[in-house]
A and B are shown apart, each in its own frame.
Chain A
């Protein structure tokens, strides 16, 4: 295997750079940054007469010029004035370019941007502008990164109003969430109502739906690459926001001007509204969440940057109450907590004009614990159940960019991770009545894992009109068993006309962790579990194709299609229940196959007073478990299969002080399993058959609920003061109060102790719970 990888890398290198390395050119390189804050700009366009490129995740660029001759270079970035420079250099040169924000276009170009990469990355990759993330309110006026991403074509939400990205038919665990390059597991707060990314701290969000570069791995459906602010290197600034549910504080500034900066964001839930509501609902409950996001950026030399990042977020809930039923009085106590802690130390260096490196060491800990205790005050019986999931990842990685020539940008890197997984389920029953008994079960698996990967990729400009990104990633993981995966990645982009491009891609991805989710509702209590000797890694192959047209000024149109096939996905077996199982998780899951396909249409208007986009996705996603433990081994629609997904998002700039926005979305109803008839089952021996009537269903997820749709509106009112500014945001979530379902279940409405004459009666109902009806909101942000 090693030989294959080695030979492949050598072949790719030879193929990629032959004939290019000897070209007579020098290179100018450096960083592109915001002139006010010193914040580097990711994805800024850099164009010379000979070549074009974009800045990487550190704002770094490298572009060839002819030695000793005047060379014109232009630097551009959405929302900034384009800057043109004429450079005459005799040798490789490194400098920083500062771009000025352009107030005249700032407010009108706020919609999602295609990544203007000069490589083949176009379509399947979307930059989500930070302006939208920070100003578009969702539930109760809270802006949210993941909810904004959910409005993009090809992305589904799992449950109405909740976070979690379901990209091109994959599960939420199949999306790689990266915070400054560090993978995160659970990125939700408040049972999924908010995501863990504090909007004020976010600098750049990029979504990959397919055509994944070889540098990404570990998940099979998508990558959300979130980059956080480095901090203003010139002045101290900050903001304070109060919304219906949370307070947010963001501070940033220099510790040593131009050398050392900080960025600190704090967010917490206030309980002014929440606590009385819970009390009204009869609960004795305490709930809070917070997150802290801090970053120190040190620039010791022009070539070096050192980053120290820390994120910690935690949700905690406890409840204690007494419930009285007809024959029994019980006391119940629940504790539920989950959170991430991520620490990372990174060192990036422009080794030369051609080579850029980043070395990173990080630690990521995800911890979830839920405990439930129930006492029967009537019969002295007690019951305890506990579930938990603990993951600790220690990761070391190195990434290198090598600008081999004006046609080749080579990237290579390696990563090693030490995992520690500890999924746990246990329960304990104690009965103190006469003849009582004790039962106890504890299934606690501590599973260590080692993972390593190596990648190589080349962004190859074959000609001015043909771009090729190709690469390969090799991964290995040991977790009870050794698993290997070789993952080829290829994307080709052809600029057929000046304003018309086409793209084709193929990628193979592998995933070494699974998330076990109830089919009813994704919960923080869902278990992250590693691969084991019986549960192999998910392997996914995806092909994508698309065309992009931007021939109309200020508009962009695209059509993309995909087909994806995955093996070794897991799900709970038919009838399995997550709670209080006495068996280990491996005994109640099944390993199977997934397939999905779809077409995504996207049109967006980028300029003018009225901006926005329209997206439509037609897709299908199915699963099959050949061992017959789910749906008798037949294919069935995956729980997040949504055939139609339609979004219109618009923003209208009324004046410099006021803008209005509206979002309307429609998505096909979720699939659920509902009775098609009734069935009297046979159990027991002849003459003693139970007279039991149960609902009959021919297949899993046989019933599609009515579609979900909602209209959100909001208005931002800005005002400038001497020393700062404020934005007052008012909005209404779900304006016309569509009662979209969040949970649907079949309810057997028959009396348990029905008389003999009623035994044949049938009364099955389909119940739904709607969490998010019409919700007006107001929030206030003061920035200084």
Chain B
């Protein structure tokens, strides 16, 4: 449709001329700094690159990256990994909710800094869990109750949806399968109102469902969490795939697919970080659509561009309940 409308407009009158407007972006170099810290981690990464109007590239001279909590220097970069466009610096420090954290980046003439506040961690509990199974697919539906805080004081995220941890009954060893599952959430739930979802809306929201991919977060405004119960449906564990994974052959010995526990993680973001996440997600959702409205992806880095945000994380877990095999279901008739 969009392509057609453009074609239509362009061909409609006798001569429609297309050409480029002389336009040049400022040719000054910008330091780009991106970082997202989690309160449940003690290793944090800061991604740094330099951009002019032609390309984005790693720094020519290694940077000194420092991290302050309040006025105290708590960490300095101790390792760096380079890729085609940037380099990632690692810092070791523990951040607590409500800490005010500053990072500084210095490289040659460049100096950039950014400050973020760790919000309060969300409080939630798992009320009930319903699991159904059809062939090798499990549908896990925990119902959670999130304690409402002051409006817009925090934003809720589910990191990677639900993490399923397999327990080896013989050794007691646990194997966390956190990078394989996906979460399906019914977009007809009230949590989807007012465009409060950020990440992952691009992938399949047209289906009436949203999908978290590998390491995405689903981010919701706390305006939705009003002490009512919301149910997350997690299509999880492809047992057949799990069994085929050769690399896990030794590890999975003694594991049972449907034995273990599930860890549910929620994080809270500040409002400005939420807006950043949403605008980035929106950018990819509508990229290539000439009729989309412009998007402003904010920056909070002084002396450069980029964003620094902190997610305060809470976790709850529940045992994997006994499951009866269903005769059939698909996500289509489930939702």
Contacts and interface: CB of A to CB of B under 8 A. Distances in A.
Contacts of A281: 7, 10-11
B74 interface: no
B5 A760 contact: no
Interface in A689-706: 689, 691-694, 696-701, 703, 705-706
B295 A679 contact: no
A21 B282 CA distance: 67
Contacts of A191: 9, 12
Nearest to A575: B282
B47 to A, nearest CB: 6
A695 to B, nearest CB: 8
A662 to B, nearest CB: 22
A193 B13 contact: yes
Contacts of B289: 577, 579
B233 to A, nearest CB: 18
B68 interface: no
A765 interface: yes
Contacts of A110: none
A102 interface: no
A283 B5 CA distance: 12
A285 B7 CA distance: 11
A680 B32 contact: yes
Contacts of B305: 677, 679, 696
Interface string A330-358: 00101000000000000000000000000
Nearest to A161: B13
Contacts of A767: 18-21
Interface in A12-60: none
Interface string B275-306: 10101111111111111111111110000011
Contacts of B25: 675-678, 764
Nearest to A749: B20
A671 to B, nearest CB: 11
Interface stretch (B81-89, B165-173, B240-248): B81-89
B17 interface: yes
A72 interface: no
B13 A694 contact: no
Given A576-B293, A759-B85, A761-B54, A521 B17 contact: no
B21 A741 contact: yes
B56 A686 contact: no
Contact of B8 (A319, A576, A676, A683): A319
B120 interface: no
A769 interface: yes
Contact of A760 (B57, B217, B280, B307): B57
A85 interface: no
B41 interface: yes
Nearest to B216: A684
B267 to A, nearest CB: 11
A518 B205 CA distance: 23
B76 interface: no
Contact of A439 (B206, B282, B283, B284): B206
Contacts of B57: 760
B182 interface: no
A673 interface: yes
B2 interface: yes
Interface residues of B, number: 87
B218 interface: no
Contacts of B19: 739, 767-768, 770
B325 interface: no
Interface string B158-201: 01100000000000000000000000000000000111000100
A277 B14 contact: yes
A334 B296 contact: no
Interface stretch (A61-69, A492-500, A771-779): A771-779
A585 interface: no
Given A319-B4, A679-B297, A769-B16, A674 B23 contact: yes
A587 interface: yes
Interface in A289-310: none
Contacts of A756: 84
Nearest to A580: B1
A608 interface: no
A688 interface: yes
A588 interface: yes
A678 B56 contact: yes
Given A683-B280, A768-B18, A771-B12, A700 B294 contact: yes
B24 to A, nearest CB: 10
Given A680-B85, A686-B44, A575 B279 contact: yes
B129 interface: no
Nearest to B199: A683
A536 B135 CA distance: 52
A574 B294 contact: yes
Nearest to A699: B296
B35 interface: yes
B279 A574 contact: yes
Contacts of A772: 13
A10 interface: no
Given A372-B4, A575-B283, A766 B20 contact: yes
B155 interface: no
Interface of B: 1-2, 4-21, 23, 25-26, 30, 32, 34-36, 38, 41, 43-45, 47, 49, 51, 53-57, 83-86, 88, 159-160, 193-195, 199, 205-208, 214-217, 275, 277, 279-299, 305-307, 332
Given A686-B38, A694-B280, A762-B55, 16 more contacts: A273-B14, A317-B8, A332-B4, A334-B4, A521-B9, A571-B293, A574-B279, A574-B282, A587-B194, A682-B47, A683-B284, A686-B44, A691-B85, A698-B299, A743-B6, A767-B20
18 contacts: A319-B4, A437-B207, A439-B206, A439-B207, A520-B291, A587-B195, A632-B296, A676-B26, A679-B305, A680-B85, A683-B199, A683-B281, A684-B216, A685-B159, A686-B43, A686-B44, A697-B294, A739-B17
In the A-B complex, the 4 residue pairs with the closest CB atoms: A281-B11, A673-B294, A575-B282, A685-B215
